[in-house]
Amino acid sequence: MLIKSSRREALLIALPAFAVALCAFWLLFAYARPAPPRVVTMVTGSEGGAYEHFGKIYKEALAREGIELRLRRTSGSVENVRLLNTDPEIDLGFVQGGILNAPNSTDLNQLGSLFPEPMWIFTRPPIDEGRLSSLRGKRIGIGASGSGTQLLALQLLGVNGFALDSNDLFSDGEIASSRALRGGTLDALLMVAGAQSPVLQALLAAPGIGLLDLTHSEAYKRRFPHLETLTLPAATLDFVGGRPAHDVHLLGSNAVLVGKVDLHPALVSLLLQTAKQIHGEPGLFQRRGEFPAIRDGGLPVNPQAQRFYEYGTPLLQRYLPFWLAVLIDRLLVSLLPVLAILLPLIRIAPPLYAWRKRSKIYRWYGELKFLEQHARTCPQSELGEVLERLGEIELHAAERRTPLAFANELYTLREHVALVRASIIERHRHGTATPKEMEIRPEAH
């Protein structure tokens, strides 16, 4: 019984402390460090373009880690920016560098630039003149409405004096425009695309179509600071056929991966690991390991992305599957504050337990003091009741079950009861008392 009572006392102290710690852990685990979403929505680009091509690769890569990536086809970067700013279901997307800026997109940030995107200018038949003005009077495809291609094409044609409302400018998607160029319906086509774009690859291999070498590429760069000058070396496309026959100078920017500011940090790390695997290889305009990187200044960098570029892949994700690394990270983040709460509680538990044990004894001491003072002033007729109550206190102390660590205090209490009884009897031994009033326990002598 004594052991059970002690355990009960200990549980009364320990259970509230553990309940507080458990509640704190649950709140932190569920809300302060929630699990990453299992479904993510990404806006890509037009059919056959580089954005759609890479979107499918990202989808396969994330599926292996248990994340479903839903792709939404769009007309291009301008529509992607609109959807990212207005549609709460969209989490991230590809955007052409130079389009976004922080004041207009306060709830977005960038994860980094992924690959170069040149402005390819195709003509049928090939022309040697390297100026955009040489396309005046020709039927020109400028990309679909809402695409980054059309935005940049209109900027370049505008500074060259083209009438932007001309009937010679045609807006259509990449696949339709490339077919029109090969079929002779268009004389030229301006297209912003990464080198991996299937539509671009088909045009580069198509007979009778040439690639315009921009003579004043550096001048355009001065006018449009977000653009870069890119060079396609001679024979890069075909060593045997010697295509192109000479270096081709192009303008371009970089494709940027943009996400909502509340994108889960673990998901950001996973996306950048995937981006490193997909875009880290050398290409026509990049060296190995050059991408992903921070190249565009239009949007602030996601904090988790910044840590990724500075320190690399998070430690747990380097050696563990994504789901397990996330689970352990959440447990650590949730447990550390709980331990900070629990450790002080554990330290005060023994003193609290001792206080609870002693407090019951101290209550008897309070009554003992009251009886001692009452006996000094009470009538002789009430002494019997005082002595009887002293006997009850002594009996409770004798029968009280308590751990050995506190047994000495019970014995001390019994000695003090006997001392008070002896004092009362000595003070009133010459007074009148009934036999019951003067009844004294043997232990008091």
What are the structural domains, with CATH classification, of the chain?
A: 39-313 (3.40.190.10), 358-444 (no CATH)
- Residue 442 pLDDT: 40
When comparing pLDDT for 120 and 317, which is higher? 120
The total of other beta-carbon atoms located within 10 Å of residue 305's CB is 25
Q: Which helix or strand (DSSP H or E) is residue 69 part of?
A: strand 68-72
Lowest mean pLDDT among 92-101, 107-116, 303-312: 92-101
Question: Token digits for 182?
Answer: 């090969």
Instruction: Name the DSSP class of 165.
Output: T
What is the reported pLDDT for 443? 44
pLDDT score at 323: 80
What does the pLDDT read at residue 418?
82
Confidence check: pLDDT of 262 > 60: yes
CA distance 66 to 311: 25
pLDDT score, position 436: 45
Q: What DSSP character marks residue 293?
A: B
Q: Which two tokens stand for residue 93?
A: 């997307």
Q: Which residues pair with 92 in a beta bridge?
A: 42, 259
Kindly indicate the confidence band of residue 11, based on its pLDDT and cuts at 50, 70 and 90.
low
- Pick the closest to residue 177 from 191, 156, 194, 195 (CA basis): 191
Instruction: Count Cβ neighbours within 10 Å for each residue of 3-34 and write b for 16 or more, e otherwise.
Output: eeebeebeeebbeebeeebeebbeebbeeebe
DSSP 133: G
Is the model more confident about 308 or about 16?
308
Q: What is the mean pLDDT of residues 399-405?
A: 67
Q: Could you check whether the bond before residue 233 is cis, i.e. omega within 30 degrees of 0?
A: no
Report phi then psi at 70, rounded to 5: -95, 125
Q: How far apart are CA 132 and CA 152, in angstroms?
A: 13
* Cβ-Cβ contacts under 8 Å for 1 (sequence gap 6 or more): 401
Joined together, the tokens standing for residue 387 give 């002595």
**149 and 190 Cβ atoms separated by less than 8 Å:** yes
Task: Count Cβ atoms below 10 Å from residue 87 Cβ, excluding itself.
Answer: 12
**Lowest mean pLDDT segment, chosen from 107-121, 276-290, 428-442:** 428-442
More confident call, 186 vs 415: 186
DSSP code of 236? Answer: S
Tokens (6 digits) for 418: 């006997």
Measured in whole angstroms, the distance separating CA 409 from the mean position of its chain's CA atoms is 56
Cβ proximity of 161 and 137 under 8 Å: no
Handedness of CA 293, 294, 296, 299 (dihedral sign): positive
pLDDT digits (tens, 9 = 90+) for 322-373: 888 877 876 777 776 666 666 776 676 666 666 666 777 777 778 778 887 8
Strands 169-170 and 140-141: parallel
pLDDT at residue 113 above 90? yes
Total count of residues recorded for the chain: 445
Start-to-end Cα distance in the chain: 32
Q: What is the rounded average pLDDT of the residues 155-175?
A: 93
| 36-80 per-position pLDDT tens digit | 899 999 999 988 889 999 999 999 999 999 999 999 999 999 999
Q: Can you tell me the distance from the alpha carbon of 134 to that of 120, in angstroms, rounded to the nearest whole number? A: 15
Q: Which of 28-32, 130-134, 187-191 has the lowest mean pLDDT?
A: 28-32
Q: Of the given ranges (7-11, 179-183, 260-264, 317-321), which has the lowest mean pLDDT? A: 7-11
Closest CA to 438 of 402, 377, 382, 384: 384
For 129-138, 227-236, 250-259, 320-329, which range has the lowest pLDDT when averaged over its residues?
A: 320-329
What pLDDT, on a 0 to 100 scale, did the predictor assign at position 374? 79
271 with 109: CB under 8 angstroms?
A: no
Report cis status (omega within 30 of 0) of the bond before 225: no
